[in-house]
Chains A and B, each alone.
Chain A
Amino acid sequence: MRRPAPRHLLAVVALLLVAASFAPRGADAGAGWRWLVFADQHFSLWFSVLAVFAFVLGGINLLAQHLARVVRRRPDWPYSVVTVVSFLVVLVAGLFKLGGLPGLQGSVTHPDSLFTRLFEDVLSPLHATLFSLLAFYVVSASFRAFRVRSLETAVLMIAAVLVLLGRIPFAGLAGHSVLSALPFEDVSLWILSVPNTAGQRALMIGIALGTVALALRMILGLEQRGDDGEGPA
């Protein structure tokens, strides 16, 4: 077995975290349980510390990749210039709290800060624009691609139409007593609560069982993918 130490470490930490999920909490828990909860808390903290380092590594990697594209004039390199400049401007604005209150406790989101202005005046409209374009694709797909070709697609279409109608507030149409009496909201809620829930639970239980099986293989050292980049022995 190659590199046994990381695998043993993984097994110990994983078993501790699993055990901590079943540990009683509160003042009346025994000393052993409290130690387990303490370990659980600190592993979570370490995870977050590692995640912060991943941010830094991610930033360095992004810069390295895109600067290399620019220097070597690879296809679409001007987009990489935009990426690098945007990254550096936002990083400097956030790190140095430009325009806002300085110091460690000065908030990055101060209303006058450059970071907030970039967020409100650049990032937010860009996000909103990109996301709203989805509506145009949905409209096109609803007309051109949503075809009833079989019994399954017929069921899918009827369910989709009923759920869509259920999201319309017919009850608010004052003076339209017939429309407001239609039970679309109840039917939509039933579709989501019963058939959808049954399907979702089946998927979730299947995924959970698969995850447990994979976790057990990793804890027992049977799963080698992920620690050395190679497949199972």
Chain B
Amino acid sequence: MSRARRWAAAARDLDRRWLYLMLLAAVVWPLLAGLRFHDRPSSIVRAVFDRVEKLPPGRPLLLSLDYSPSSAPELEPMAEALTRHALLSGHPVCYLSLWPAGNNMIDRVVDRVIRKEFPAARPGREYVVLGFQEGGQMLINSLRDSLAARYRTDVDGRPLAGLPALRGVRGVGDFGLVISLSAGVPGLKEWILYAGDVVGVPVAGGCTGVGAPQFFPYYPQQLVGLLAALKGASEYEAALHQRYPRRVPADQRAGLGMGPQTVAHLLLVALILLGNAAWWLAGGRRP
């Protein structure tokens, strides 16, 4: 066996713990070095941003946080950026969730963005938290014609009738935009099929990386736009910084996460190519 072939065979049979170590280094090094990548919004992300920008002043939007902590690193930066954008552009935000962990996920976003960056914002005026209710697509069905069918009050017990944030809103169709940040079922697909398609309300969304391919068939007819994974959130943050450079810093949460993700992606590509090269040079099958 030639020397090159022996090297290739050794590389092909590399202990997986070395691979784990490489990934650890690929994630830790950009964090320690403070590596930054400033993104630019793609057309599918820009479509969501522009729709929020073009909403008539004061028109509320519905933000459904349909995820649990396991998907929060990808989806929470989107929720934060969308909340920031809505409040900066003067649109009240109405939060609800189709997932049992939703109330806590909503509370985290309200605490990190609204209470810290918009201390003058008041519940019921700039934002409303409806919270989680069981039912999935059936909950959406109930809300199509009237929010009061399922929510008489917000999570703190304020009656919805008369809240300034929901002025002119009777059912889901009266929101300017419905945005679902979705880690699975029920989520964005259910909002498209049971709200957007039935009452004609525009629906946009965000999703995890593995979930993105299933939503492309809905774009652009049934889906205004899509924020796919951390990169989608980072692109939205970039659009927000371009529009509000004095209020929104260039380095936000998703942007900070793009350093480790970028290096990890490059490592993955390199490993796919190296793994195949070693496999071919070593003669295919394990000796």
Residues of B that sit less than 8 Å from A by CB: 14, 16, 19-20, 22-23, 27, 36-40, 42-44, 68-73, 101, 103-104, 106-107, 111, 133-135, 138-139, 141-142, 144-146, 149-150, 153, 155-157, 173, 198-199, 209, 212-214, 216-217, 219, 229, 231, 234, 258, 261-262, 264-269, 271-276, 279
Contact = CB atoms under 8 A, between A and B. Distances in A.
Given A37-B145, A139-B22, A192-B212, 4 more contacts: A25-B198, A44-B139, A48-B133, A161-B269
A164 B265 contact: yes
B103 A200 contact: no
Nearest to B74: A131
Contacts of B19: 136, 139-140, 143
Interface residue SS majority, chain B: helix
A41 B142 contact: yes
**Secondary structure class of chain A's binding surface, majority of residues:** helix
Contact of B272 (A108, A160, A168): A160
Nearest to B173: A25
A143 B275 contact: yes
Contacts, number: 168
Interface string A173-203: 1100000000001000100110011001100
A224 interface: no
B145 A146 contact: no
A139 B20 contact: yes
B262 A168 contact: yes
A193 B104 CA distance: 34
A197 B70 CA distance: 27
A167 to B, nearest CB: 5
12 contacts: A41-B144, A41-B146, A44-B139, A45-B142, A107-B103, A127-B70, A146-B272, A157-B272, A168-B262, A169-B234, A172-B39, A172-B258
Interface in A49-64: 51-52, 55
Nearest to A161: B269
Contacts of B144: 25, 41
B16 to A, nearest CB: 5
A224 B216 CA distance: 36
Contacts of B70: 127-128, 130-131
A7 B261 CA distance: 53
A167 B208 CA distance: 13
Nearest to A133: B20
Q: For B23, B155, B156, B275, which residue has the most chain A Cβ atoms within 10 angstroms? A: B275
B142 A201 contact: no
B135 A139 contact: no
A147 interface: yes
B37 A164 contact: no
Contacts of B266: 168
10 nearest CB pairs, A to B: A105-B157, A48-B135, A127-B70, A44-B141, A127-B69, A172-B37, A172-B38, A124-B69, A143-B275, A44-B138
B145 A25 contact: yes
A165 interface: yes
B86 to A, nearest CB: 21
Contacts of A41: 141-142, 144-146, 149
A67 interface: no
A116 B159 CA distance: 24
Contacts of A196: 213, 216
A193 to B, nearest CB: 6
Nearest to B133: A48
A51 B219 CA distance: 32
Contact of A147 (B40, B264, B276): B276
Nearest to B36: A172
Contacts of B71: 131
Interface in A87-116: 105, 107-109, 111, 116
Contact of B156 (A107, A171, A185): A107
Contact of A116 (B104, B133, B199): B104
B149 A135 contact: no
A21 interface: yes
A48 B20 CA distance: 44
A220 interface: no
Given A109-B104, A119-B101, A143 B72 contact: no
A172 B40 contact: yes
